[in-house]
Amino acid sequence: MSHFFTYAILTATVATALGLAAPFLLAALGETVGQRSGVINLGVDGIMLLSAFATYYTALQTGNLFFAILVGIGTGMVMGVVTAFISVTLKAEQGISGIGVYLFGLGFSDLLFIKLVGTPLPIATLNPINIPLLDRIPAVGGMFFKQTILVYLAFLLVPIVTFLLNRTTFGMKIRAAGENPAAADSVGVDVARIRWSAVLIGCTLAGLAGAALLLFDGIFQENLTQSEGFIAVALVYFGAWRPVGVMGGSVLYGAAIAVVLEWKSLGIIPLSASDLAATAPAVITILALLTVARRFRQPAALGKPYERGG
Amino acid sequence: MQMNPVRRGALVLAALGIALGTAAYASGASATTRSSSTPRAMSTLKVALVAPSATNDLAFTQSMYSALESLKSTENLQIAVSANEFVVSNAADIIEEYAHEGYNLIIAHGSQYGSTIESLAPKFPKVSFAWGTAGATFGMKNVFAYEASSNEGGYVQGYMAALLSKSKVLGICGPIATGDAKLYVDGFVAGAKAAATANKFTVTAHTVYTGSFSDDSLMASCAKTFVGDGADVLTGSSQSVVGAIGVAKSDKKLWFGTQWNQSSLAPHNVVASQVYNWAPILKQMFTEIRGGTLGDATYVIGLGNGGEKINFNPGYNLSASVKTEAQKLIAEITDGDITVPQ
């Protein structure tokens, strides 16, 4: 165990944890915005898969990673239009429509991969960017300030989304649409338009999350996410619909994976406990969810389509 | 109370979306393909393959699929393939369906299918089942088992890895500690230690089992963990290694592959791959089945019987001395002069 608490090992573990947390954080931040407006989107995982494939295929064809990321984001936006149309305009049952989007994303990304790519080939991944001066801070510099641009972006979005939700008129309208859409409507808030916007933001970030996951792995395979998009939805509850809380949950989940892998590597977790240890990240998240989330309440109109006069 | 037409339309759309997605997934991911060869004097043998990953996964499933395809004409086979059946309960339904359809041999290619075979085989005594990689036939007359002595190739590759590593830290990404995956990992570690002993240096072989055959994100994370621990040579087993190979490529580390030739994934990083060739034992099974014996035998592929081969990647400039050592080890294992520990 003492071997784990060496600078090199701790640095590598924390750095890996942050890298693992980034896709969850991006998807969960997007889902937070959507849920604060009253729309729950269970199709996050499917959107991540579609955008991951789009990013992968673009990178494979062009070799341009930044263009590939833009395509991934664009894919998220397109799916955002679909999701918003179904959930907001058509006022479908959001749980069912979300599952439909998930299944569509799962199946279509697999189909496209088989037909357009076939045998998987690795692509280039993003190089870490060392933040000058900060990366030389003793003890923590190597942990936090030698990450890829998407990891930095994920964590930078936390204060941005916090500001958006709590300090802007737009954010106030989002929260109003999620708490009491009838009251918001009565004072002139276009609830449908606000929810459309929130869902678009959410799905765009889910698209970015898919791109981030793909570029972390460097290769696409069928069902790349292994349904971890649903973890992102759970993290919204864990974070009590607050970006900072969501960030905490994402880092906790990423850290649990990273620590388990490192402990297995160092032999701290014996082979006989290896499979049990693999469940640790999910168990820890569920326990934290049960402990933390009970103290906060969800947006009052979450999951309820709004119809004027209804 | 009549439903709002808009809501009705939304429900219909949602249902269509679910149906479309399910159909796309079913048609794309779990493609069942059937192919026939030209009938010859030998009776046509209907063979079904159920596997947990894609037929082009450059690993586990591809090795068996390629072996079957190579024998299609010479053995007069009618082949059906159900790939990507990583959900065991789904695979069980498919295996049972093949049995009902009268397939002569159903190959359940994955150690996770063991309990399925154990429960289904007694219900279809005239159908032959083959299960691998595993050694147990459950004492049933219609079950063949097959496995790979992957520890042999693992030993050779582990030996090479220890010699090639500059940091003398190796990283081994295992999926689940069972079947040929565990054998390979154990053999690799043993080979590395043998090289260290023979050449008087110390080597550290970190081993992690991720707990999944299919999660290549986790495999990639595992590889990154090893790189962070100082490993400059990596290896791993299962269809999820593509994630780890991507890390080896991007971080410029060396990779040793198993189950299939993985050079194409990282042409300058893959040193060698232990390639499985299931064809020799499949031919034996077909002969047995045609002769009326449907099971109760275990087949093993290894370096000695042509079932395993170390494929050196020409794209990697392997030093002559290391290659000579490897070839010497292969000969010694083949001749029985070395028994690789399991």
Contact B250 A125 (CB under 8 A): yes
Q: Do B194 and B325 belong together in one domain?
A: yes
Of A12, A106, A112, the CB nearest to B229: A12
Instruction: Clarify whether residues B180 and B321 are in a common domain.
Output: yes
Interface with A, mutate which of B30, B169, B225 (most A CBs under 10 A): B225
Q: Does residue B23 register a pLDDT over 50?
A: no
Instruction: List all residues 6 or more positions away from A19 whose beta carbon is below 8 Å from its beta carbon.
Output: A147, A148, A151, A216, A254, B224
- A108 to chain B: which residues are within 8 Å by CB? 21, 24, 28
Residues B90 and B236 in one domain: no
User: Cβ of B21 and A107 within 8 Å?
Assistant: yes
- Does B21 map to a domain? no
Render pLDDT for B43-52 as a digit per residue (tens, 0 to 9): 899 999 999 9
Q: Are B293 and B313 in the same domain?
A: no
Query: Is residue B112 located within the same domain as residue B44?
Result: yes
Q: Which chain B residue is nearest to residue A127, measuring alpha carbons?
A: B250
- Nearest Cα of chain A lies from the Cα of B230 at a distance, in angstroms, of 9
Q: Does pLDDT of B197 surpass 80?
A: yes
- Flag whether the pTM goes above 0.90: no
pLDDT level of residue B28 (50, 70, 90 thresholds): very low
- Identify the band that residue B274 occupies on the pLDDT scale cut at 50, 70 and 90: very high
To the nearest whole percent, how much of chain A has pLDDT over 70?
98
Most confident of A27-31, B28-32, B302-306: A27-31
Residue ranges in chain A whose pLDDT is less than 70: 292-295, 310
Collect all residues of chain A within an 8 Å Cβ-Cβ radius of residue B246. 122-123, 125, 217-219
Report yes or no on B15 lying in a domain: no
Put simply, the answer to whether A106 touches B17 (Cβ < 8 Å) is no
A277 against B72, higher pLDDT: B72
> Which pLDDT value is given to residue B33?
53
Specify if B22 maps to a domain: no
For residue B120, pLDDT beyond 50? yes
Q: Taking CB atoms and an 8 Å limit, are A257 and B221 in contact across chains?
A: yes
The distance of A275 to chain B (nearest Cα, Å) reads: 5
State the pLDDT at residue B233: 98
In a domain, B18, yes or no: no
Angle at A195 between CA A46 and CA A23, to 5 degrees: 35
Q: Tell me whether residue B283 is in a domain.
A: yes
Q: Is residue B72 part of a domain?
A: yes
Average pLDDT over residues B198-223: 91
Which pLDDT band holds residue B39 (cuts at 50, 70, 90)? very low
- Indicate if B194 and B330 belong to the same structural domain: yes
Q: What pLDDT score was predicted for residue B36?
A: 44
Domain count, chain B: 2
B56 falls within a domain: yes
Q: Which of A11, A261, A277 is opposite residue B221, by nearest beta carbon?
A: A261
- Closest approach of chain A CAs to the CA of B275, in angstroms? 17
Taking the CA of residue B31 and the nearest CA in chain A, the distance in Å comes to 10
The domains of chain A, with CATH numbers, are: 2-295 (1.10.3470)
The verdict on a CB contact (< 8 Å) between A86 and B84 is no
A–B interface: beta-carbon pairs under 8 A: 200
Which DSSP string do the residues of chain A spell out, in sequence order?
-GGGGSHHHHHHHHHHHHHHHHHHHHHHHHHHHHHHTT---TTHHHHHHHHHHHHHHHHHHH--HHHHHHHHHHHHHHHHHHHHIIIIIS---HHHHHHHHHHHHHHHHHHHIIIII-S------PPPEEPTTGGGSTTTHHHHSEE-HHHHHHHHHHHHHHHHHHHSHHHHHHHHHHH-HHHHHHTT--HHHHHHHHHHHHHHHHHHHHHHHHHHHTS--TTTTTTTHHHHHHHHHHTTT-HHHHHHHHHHHHHHHHHHHHHHHTTSS-GGGHHHHHTHHHHHHHHHHHHHGGGS---TTTT----TT-
If asked whether residues B89 and B139 sit together in one domain, one would say: yes
Are both B76 and B136 inside the same structural domain? yes
Chain B positions touching A15 (Cβ under 8 A) are 228
Share of chain B above pLDDT 70, in %: 88
Contacts of A226 in chain B (CB under 8 A): 212, 214-215, 217-218
Tell whether B290 and B209 lie within a shared domain.
no
CATH number of the domain that residue B154 is part of: 3.40.50.2300
Tell me which residue in B10, B21, B242 faces A92 most closely, judged by beta carbons: B10
Q: Is the pLDDT of residue B170 over 70?
A: yes
Let me know if residue B192 belongs to a domain. yes
Greater confidence, B37 or A117?
A117
pLDDT, average across residues B37-42: 52
Contacts of A275 in chain B (CB under 8 A): 176-177, 209, 211
Q: Residues B89-113: pLDDT tens digits?
A: 999 999 999 999 999 999 999 988 9
Residues B185 and B94 in one domain: no
* Predicted pLDDT at B35: 47
Q: Which of A103, A117, A228 to mutate to test the interface with B (most CBs of B within 10 A)?
A: A103
Q: Say if residue B312 is in the same domain as residue B166.
A: yes
Same-domain pairing of B100 and B177:
no
Residue A214: predicted pLDDT:
93
Range of the domain at B258: 150-275+307-335
Q: Do A221 and B240 touch (CB under 8 A)?
A: yes
